[in-house]
RNA sequence: GGCCUGUUGGUGAAGUGGUUUAACACAUCGCCCUCUCAAGGCGACAUUCACGGGUCCGAAUCCCGUACAGGCUACCA
C-alpha cells in the first residue's frame, strides 16, 4: 500500500488538493509593514481580562500599521463549548470598542474573504491538509488507546524520562501498511499524528517579539493533529489557519511559548512561512501574599463584564489596558494630555515580559481622572446609559431631572482642577442621592458633628432662614452671611481665630456650616454647599429645614 | 522528573556597564490650603535592584550557580 492509498483509506472522500485552498486565499494586498493579527478565543465562557488585554494589543498593533485584526473562534473542542459563547465574546469586544475587521459577527454570521472564521466550520480544510500530509508520508494514524498512552506515561515517569509520544515510544509510527489496513478493517478507532523529524539533542533558537531569542530543544514529539472526531488539535489548526489567513503576527498568551518548537516545525515542514510571535504574560492577582494568575473562577474582576457592570468608562479601561500593554504609555500620556491612545505608537519591545499584578485601584484612579475631565452633559449621558442597564430607578430619576442633574454634575467641573469624586458610574448615586427628593424623602440618619444638640441646631436653622438666607447672593456674600450668623450665635467667624482662642467661642463657622449642610443633605460631606443650595433653591432648602425642625 | 520563562519599593514600573545619592505613576503617611468632602501644593517612603559567586577600574545592568514564582509536558485551548 502506498502513502496515497493509505490516505484514501483513512480519509475517504476527502480531497488532498491543497493548491485549491492556497489559491482560494491569496496574499493580502497590504503595505509591507502591515500587521495582520487575530484574536482567537475558545467560546468557553466570558472573556477574561487577560484575553481582553491581548485583543486590545492585537487591535492596536494592527491599527498602527494599517493592518488587519480579525476574530477567529477556536471551537475545536466540542466538549468545552458553551451556549452562546460566540455572542458573549462579540458582545464583550463591542462593549470595549475593540472593533474587528474580519471574522465572526454573530453566532452564525461573519465578514471577510478568508473565512470561515469558526474552526468547526473549517473541518474540510484541515482534513485536506491532513490527507496531504499522509500522502507525503509526514503523518500517520495512531491506534493507541488512552489507557496505553497513560501507561507509557507512567513508565516514563518512573524511569524519569521525558514524557510524550516520541522515539521508541511512538509505537504506531512503526506500524506496517498491512497492520494499519488490518486495524482499520477491524474498525479500531484512530487519530492522526504528525511525524516529527526533530531531535531532542538539537538546539534551536526562536525569536519572540517580547522576549527576544529563546533557545529550545527541537521538537521530537509526534503530536496529534487530527482527533477521532475529525477535528484538528490547536497546534494543527493554528498552523493551517494562520497560514491560510495570512497572519503576520501571532500575539497570544504566554502559555504557548513551550509549543513554539512544534509550531515552527510544522510550518516549516508544510512549506509555510511562519509568522512572527509575541507572547503576552498573564495578569496576576495577589492572594495570601502569593501571586497567582487572575482566575475566571475565583476573581469577579477577571471577567471583562465586571467593568461594564461597574460603569467604568470604556475609555478608562482602554487607558489602563494601554498602560499594561506598553510600560512607557503612562508617562507619555501624562506629557500629552490632549492626545489619545490612537496617537500613541505601540511597541512590542515595551511590553513587560513578567506578569504584573492586576491593579484595580489604579484602574479606578484612571477612571476617576477620566470622568473628572468630561463635560457635565457627557457624564449625564454616560451615567444614564449605565443606569438604564443596571439601575432602572436611578435612570428614571436622571431622566426626570435632566437639567438639574447636569447642573449637579457640573459642580466644580470644567475648570483647571476639576472635582474628582466619581470613579465609576455605579458610584454616582451613592454620592448624590440626597439631591433628589425621590431618594431623600425617607432620610432619618443625620451625620451631625460637633454641634448635635437639637435645640442648638434648630436655632441655627431658624436664624439662617429668618435673617441670613438670600437666593441672590454670590458665593462671597453667601459665605459672609454664614460668618455673620456664626458670630451672632457665639461662634468664631474665622477658623483661625477660633484656633487661637478656643475658649472664647462655642465653635467656629465651619461647625455652623456643617449644621446647615447636614440638615439639608443628612450628610457631613458634600460638594460645595453654596453650589448645592443654589441648585436646590429656596423652596427645597426651607422645606427640608422646616421638616427637620418639626421632627 | 524534563523543557521554557520571569524575579527592581506595598503596587505598576524606568533602567541595556559609569552625571542613579535607582525616574515616573498608583497606594500609604505627614504638613499646607480649606466651611465639610473631592481636589490641589509640598514632603516622607528601595543606601539598594531574589540570593551566592565571578568578570571589570566600575554591575540593577555581562557570566555561572541557587532559591522562589509561573507556564508547558492531553484526542484542552
β-bridge partners, A35? none
**What's the CA–C1' distance between A489 and B71, in Å?**
71
Number of structural domains (chain A) is 4
Averages of pLDDT over runs of 10 residues in chain A (551 residues) are: 92 92 95 95 88 94 95 93 91 93 94 94 96 95 94 91 92 93 93 94 91 90 95 97 97 94 95 95 76 77 87 92 88 83 90 83 89 93 95 95 94 87 92 92 85 89 90 88 91 86 87 93 92 92 90 77
Nearest alpha-carbon partner for A325 in A86, A59, A536: A59
Measured CA to C1', what is the nucleotide nearest A238?
B77
Alpha-carbon gap, residue A424 to A385, rounded angstroms: 13
Residues A176 and A233 in one domain: yes
Same domain flag for A310 and A416: no
Rounded CA–C1' distance between A510 and B32, in angstroms: 18
Residue A33 CA and nucleotide B20 C1' are separated, in Å, by: 38
Cell of A6: 493509505
* The nucleotide closest to A479 (CA, C1' atoms): B35
Distance A213 CA to B17 C1' (A): 22
With b meaning 16 or more CB within 10 Å and e meaning fewer, what string describes A133-154?
bbbeebbbbbbbeeeeeeebee
Within this chain, do residues A317 and A230 fall inside the same structural domain, yes or no? no
DSSP state string for A168-235: GG-GGGG--HHHHHHHHHTT---EEEE-----TTSEEEEEETTTEEEEEEPP-B--EEE-TTSPBPHH
Same domain, A263 and A141: yes
d(CA A513, CA A494): 12
Q: In this structure, is residue A110 part of a structural domain? A: no
The nt closest to A352 (CA vs C1′) is B13
Query: Are both A466 and A323 inside the same structural domain?
Result: no
Please name the nucleotide lying closest to A330, CA to C1'.
B25
Question: B71 C1' – A291 CA distance, angstroms?
Answer: 14
Q: Are residues A273 and A295 in the same domain?
A: no
Is A229:A78 a contact under the CB 8 Å cutoff? Answer: yes
Q: Does residue A365 share a domain with residue A384? A: no
How many Å from the CA of A119 to C1' of B52?
51
* A285 within a domain of the structure (yes/no): no
Spatial separation of the C-alpha atoms in residues A214 and A196, rounded to whole Å = 20
- Residue A368 and residue A462 in one domain: no
CA distance linking residue A330 with residue A332, whole number of Å: 5
What's the Å distance between residue A314 CA and nucleotide B57 C1'? 54
In a domain, A467, yes or no: yes
Return the sign of the alpha-carbon dihedral for residues A433, A437, A443, A445: positive
Q: Residue with CA nearest B1 C1'?
A: A160
Give me A455's grid cell. Answer: 435645640
Instruction: Report, in ranges, which bases of strand B sit under 7 Å from a protein C-beta.
Output: 1-8, 11-16, 23-27, 34-40, 69-77
Nearest nucleotide by C1' from A235 CA?
A: B77
Residue A90 lies in a domain: no
Nearest nt to the A526 alpha carbon by C1': B37
Nucleotide nearest to A483 (CA to C1'): B35
Q: Determine how many CB atoms are found less than 10 A away from the CB of residue A169.
A: 19
Phi, psi of A208 (to 5 degrees): -115, 135
Number of helices and strands (H, E) in chain A? 23, 13
Considering the domain architecture, whether residues A188 and A264 belong to the same structural domain is answered as: yes
Query: Rounded distance, CA A390 to CA A395, Å?
Result: 9
Q: The domain that contains A508 carries what CATH number?
A: 1.10.10.350
Under DSSP, is residue A32 helix (H, G, I), strand (E, B) or coil?
A: coil
Helix or strand (DSSP H, E) at A282: none
Q: Within its chain, how far is the Cα of A5 from the centroid?
A: 50
- Residue at a domain's end among A249, A280, A311: A280
**A364 is in which domain, residue-wise?**
291-372
CB neighbours of A459 closer than 8 A, spacing ≥ 6?
A489
In a domain, A429, yes or no: yes
Distance A256 CA to B45 C1' (A): 39
Nearest-nucleotide field for A145 (CA, C1'):
B75
What H or E segment, with its residue span, contains residue A462?
Answer: helix A454-463
* Nearest residue for B69, CA–C1': A291
The HSE-up count of residue A492 (CA atoms within 13 Å, CB side) is 16
Rounded Cα gap, residues A341 and A361, in angstroms: 21
Q: Between A475-488 and A454-463, two packed helices, what is the crossing angle to 10 degrees?
A: 130
Query: Residue A288: what pLDDT?
Result: 64
Using the 3D structure, point to which of A349, A372, A395 is the last residue of a domain. Answer: A372
Nearest one of A198, A195, A172 to A183, comparing CA atoms: A172
The grid cell for A512 is 455652623
> For position A289, what pLDDT does the model report?
62
What grid cell was written down for A213? 531569542
Residues A364 and A389 in one domain: no
Distance A142 CA to B50 C1' (A): 46
DSSP H or E run through A112: none
Question: Does one domain contain both A158 and A229?
Answer: yes
CA A296 / C1′ B52 distance in Å: 39
pLDDT value at residue A172: 94
Q: Distance in angstroms, CA of A164 to C1' of B25?
A: 47
Same domain, A163 and A247: yes
- Inside any domain, residue A240: yes
- DSSP run (H or E) holding A431: helix A425-432
Pairing of strands A276-280, A249-253: parallel
CATH number of the structural domain spanning residue A239: 3.40.50.620
The distance (Å) linking the CA of A376 with the C1' of B51 is: 55
ipTM for the predicted complex comes to 0.90
For A34-70, give one letter per residue: b (16+ CB within 10 A) or e: ebbbbbbbbbbebbbbbbbbbbbbbbbbbbbbebbbb
Strands (E), A229-356: 249-253, 276-280, 284-287, 290-293
Residue A96 lies in a domain: no
What is the nearest nucleotide to A496, using C1' and CA? B34
Among residues A342, A372, A402, which one ends one of the domains? A372
CA distance A39 to A59: 9
Considering the domain boundaries, does residue A24 fall inside one?
no
What CATH number is associated with residue A321? 1.10.1160.10
Supply the DSSP string of A227-255, one letter for each residue: -TTSPBPHHHHHHHHHHHTT-SEEEEEGG
Amino acid at each position: 500500500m502506498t502513502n496515497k492509498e493509505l490516505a484514501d483509506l483513512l480519509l475517504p472522500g476527502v480531497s488532498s488538493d491543497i493548491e485549491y485552498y492556497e489559491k482560494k486565499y491569496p496574499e493580502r494586498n497590504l503595505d509591507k509593514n502591515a500587521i495582520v493579527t487575530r484574536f482567537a478565543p475558545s467560546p468557553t465562557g466570558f472573556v477574561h481580562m487577560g484575553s481582553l488585554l491581548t485583543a486590545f494589543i492585537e487591535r492596536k498593533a494592527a491599527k498602527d500599521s494599517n493592518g488587519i485584526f480579525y476574530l477567529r473562534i477556536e471551537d475545536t473542542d466540542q466538549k468545552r463549548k458553551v451556549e452562546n459563547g460566540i455572542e458573549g465574546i462579540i458582545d464583550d469586544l463591542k462593549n470595549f470598542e475593540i472593533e474587528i475587521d474580519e471574522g465572526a459577527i454573530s453566532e452564525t454570521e461573519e465578514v471577510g474573504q478568508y473565512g470561515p472564521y469558526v474552526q468547526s466550520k473549517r473541518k474540510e480544510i484541515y482534513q485536506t491538509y491532513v490527507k496531504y500530509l499522509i500522502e507525503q508520508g509526514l503523518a500517520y494514524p495512531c491506534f493507541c488507546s488512552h489507557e496505553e498512552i497513560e501507561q507509557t506515561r507512567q513508565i516514563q515517569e518512573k524511569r524519569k524520562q521525558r514524557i510524550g509520544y516520541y522515539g521508541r515510544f511512538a509505537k504506531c509510527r512503526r506500524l506496517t501498511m498491512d497492520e494499519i489496513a488490518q486495524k482499520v478493517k477491524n474498525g479500531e478507532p484512530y487519530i492522526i499524528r504528525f511525524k516529527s523529524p526533530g531531535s531532542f539533542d538539537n538546539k534551536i533558537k526562536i525569536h519572540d517579539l517580547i522576549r527576544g531569542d529563546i533557545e529550545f530543544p527541537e521538537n521530537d514529539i509526534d503530536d496529534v493533529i487530527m482527533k477521532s472526531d475529525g477535528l484538528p488539535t490547536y497546534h494543527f489548526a493554528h498552523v493551517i489557519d494562520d497560514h491560510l489567513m495570512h497572519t503576520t503576527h501571532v500575539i497570544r498568551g504566554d502559555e504557548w511559548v513551550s509549543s513554539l518548537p512544534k509550531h515552527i516545525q510544522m510550518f516549516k515542514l508544510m512549506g509555510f512561512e511562519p509568522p512572527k510571535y509575541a507572547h503576552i504574560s498573564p495578569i496576576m492577582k495577589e492572594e495570601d501574599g502569593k501571586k497567582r494568575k487572575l482566575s475566571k473562577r475565583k476573581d469577579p474582576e477577571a471577567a471583562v463584564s465586571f467593568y461594564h457592570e461597574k460603569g467604568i468608562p470604556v475609555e478608562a479601561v482602554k487607558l489602563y489596558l494601554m498602560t499594561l500593554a506598553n510600560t512607557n504609555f503612562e508617562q507619555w500620556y501624562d506629557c500629552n494630555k490632549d492626545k489619545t491612545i490612537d496617537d500613541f505608537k505601540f511597541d512590542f519591545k515595551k511590553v513587560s515580559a513578567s506578569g504584573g499584578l492586576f491593579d484595580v485601584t489604579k484602574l479606578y484612579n484612571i477612571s476617576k481622572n477620566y470622568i473628572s475631565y468630561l463635560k457635565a452633559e457627557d457624564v449625564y449621558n454616560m451615567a444614564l446609559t449605565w443606569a438604564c442597564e443596571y439601575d432602572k430607578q436611578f435612570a428614571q430619576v436622571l431622566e426626570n431631572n435632566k437639567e438639574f442633574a447636569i447642573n449637579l454634575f457640573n459642580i466644580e467641573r470644567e475648570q483647571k482642577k476639576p472635582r474628582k469624586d466619581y470613579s465609576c458610574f455605579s458610584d454616582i448615586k451613592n454620592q448624590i442621592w440626597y439631591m433628589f427628593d425621590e431618594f431623600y424623602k425617607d432620610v432619618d440618619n443625620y451625620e451631625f458633628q460637633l454641634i448635635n444638640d437639637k435645640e442648638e441646631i434648630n436655632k441655627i436653622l431658624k436664624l439662617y432662614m429668618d435673617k441670613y438666607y438670600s437666593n441672590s447672593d454670590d458665593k462671597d456674600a453667601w459665605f459672609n452671611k454664614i460668618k455673620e450668623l456664626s458670630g451672632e450665635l457665639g461662634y468664631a467667624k474665622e477658623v483661625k481665630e477660633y484656633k487661637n482662642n478656643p475658649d472664647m467661642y462655642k465653635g467656629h463657622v465651619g461647625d455652623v456650616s456643617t449644621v446647615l449642610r447636614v440638615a439639608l443633605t443628612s450628610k457631613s460631606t458634600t460638594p460645595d454647599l453654596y453650589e448645592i443650595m443654589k441648585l436646590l433653591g429656596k423652596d427645597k432648602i426651607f422645606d427640608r429645614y422646616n421638616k427637620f425642625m418639626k421632627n
